[in-house]
Chain A
Amino acid sequence: MPSLKEFRVRIESVQSTKKITSAMKMVAASKLRRAQEAAEAARPYAERMASMLSNLAGASVGRAGAPPMLAGTGKDDVQLVVVMTANRGLCGGFNTNIIRSARTLIRELLASGKTVKILTVGRKGRDAIRRDFRELIVGEYTEFGRKRVAFAEANEVAKKVTDMYVAGEFDVATMIYARFKSAVTQIVTRQQIIPFPVPVVETTDAQMVYDYEPSDTEILTELLPRNLAIQVFRAMLENSASFFGAQMAAMDSATRNAGEMIDKLKLRYNRSRQAMITKELIEIISGAEAV
């Protein structure tokens, strides 16, 4: 049985842990609100751009002279995996889930004989991926999203991906991030970003024929890299909202656990205090009786 002092020390330490986790929870909640707003505000643009692009792509896919970003290189031998995680932990299974999905994907690709290159965004992902696939990492970003996700940062990632693609360093690029569904649910998502996945258009309804100004190829060459940047930006926003959501949930349950632990410790503390008092009383009484 630990002494009373030991109990007191432990209770105090759990109490201060609880204070920290509940403060973190509140901070995460307020940051979540902002991140969520940003993520939701960015959705319309990304969605409309994707639909505009798929209209355009539907018309020019399979045609000679389609930009390679759309048509692909015709191979899938070299795969680029962009893993997006947070820079920090204390967010439950958030990073772990993304990393697990990334690891599975990478293993699958390697097993089927593909060459894999990895680009990591976020410190946690880099650390974990580096343990297993150190030699596959071709680039890493760890300074992003310190305060809030900036479009310039997404652009930097997109530019790197574009440059690599133009230089013929990979054939297919997939992005892994957590899509924000609600504060408690984040969905780990794999999204192919290059070549742009052209959705199957039903050929039944009359296909609209667009006029292009200046020309379809010119629009495409402008639209494609922009779309990539937008999709990356969106993924980063979703990821940051998901992160704060996960952190809030994790800190909430940590706070609750700490509360439970304090209750249990207090109970044990009081029991042993009473036991001690009883023991002392018995000693006094039996001492008095002996006289």
Chain B
Amino acid sequence: MPDTLKLELVSPERLLVSEQVEMVLVPGVEGVLGVLPLHAPTLSTLKPGFVDVYKGNVVVERYFVAGGFAEITPTTCTVLVDEALPKETLTQAMAAERQTMAKALHDAAATDEDRLKALKALEVADAMMSAAHGALH
């Protein structure tokens, strides 16, 4: 059995990670997926949360992602996210700002579609907040 798989973490702005890793945790909509080499092929949508990169049984990198998609094959794991932030750069102030912005967006929303968008933004902001507090897994 191979002991590593290729992880690619990509946001629209850039390629954040492209390397061999031992395990990666991905926040799937139906629960966190722990991806090891030879994982069954899976396509999943993601919810806001952490992508954890494991090397040598320890987390070497943590990224907060705002939702996206993951494609898993036995040898690769491609994670496409709307937005990704390394954990170290995540601050409570940033999350609070996002929350206020999302709330303002929600109050200003005129159509159902706008409201839905604002709710999504709020969900991301809330997840960011709890992530910044360290409350997220």
- Known contacts A48-B80, A55-B71, A214-B30; is-contact A41 B14 (Cβ 8 Å): yes
Which bracket fits the contact residues of A? 20 to 34
- Give how many B residues have a beta carbon under 8 Å from the other chain's beta carbons: 21
Task: Judge whether A213 is part of the interface by a CB distance below 8 angstroms.
Answer: yes
- Consensus secondary structure, chain A interface: helix
- Known contacts A45-B10, A45-B80; is-contact A213 B69 (Cβ 8 Å): no
CB neighbours of A55 from chain B (8 A): 43, 71
Are A222 and B45 interface neighbours, CB within 8 A? Answer: yes
Task: Judge whether B41 is part of the interface by a CB distance below 8 angstroms.
Answer: yes
In the complex, residue of chain A having the shortest beta-carbon distance to the beta carbon of B73: A208
Are A44 and B42 interface neighbours, CB within 8 A? Answer: no
Q: Which of B11, B14, B41, B69 contacts A223 (CB 8 A)?
A: B69
Count CB-based A-B contacts (< 8 Å): 66
Q: Which of B12, B29, B40 contacts A45 (CB 8 A)?
A: B12
CB B36 to nearest CB in A, in angstroms, measures 15
- Consensus secondary structure, chain B interface: strand
Task: Judge whether B28 is part of the interface by a CB distance below 8 angstroms.
Answer: yes
CB B51 to nearest CB in A, in angstroms, measures 15
Task: Judge whether A23 is part of the interface by a CB distance below 8 angstroms.
Answer: no
CB A44 to nearest CB in B, in angstroms, measures 4
23 contacts between A and B (CB under 8 A): A41-B15, A44-B14, A45-B11, A45-B12, A45-B15, A48-B8, A48-B80, A49-B69, A49-B80, A52-B43, A208-B41, A210-B41, A211-B40, A211-B41, A212-B44, A213-B29, A213-B44, A214-B30, A214-B45, A222-B45, A222-B69, A223-B69, A233-B12
Q: Please give the residue numbers on chain A whose beta carbons come within 8 Å of chain B beta carbons, in ascending order.
A: 38, 41-42, 44-45, 48-49, 52, 55-56, 151, 208-214, 216, 218-219, 222-223, 230, 233
Q: Please give the residue numbers on chain B whose beta carbons come within 8 Å of chain A beta carbons, in ascending order.
A: 8, 10-15, 28-30, 40-45, 69, 71, 73, 78, 80
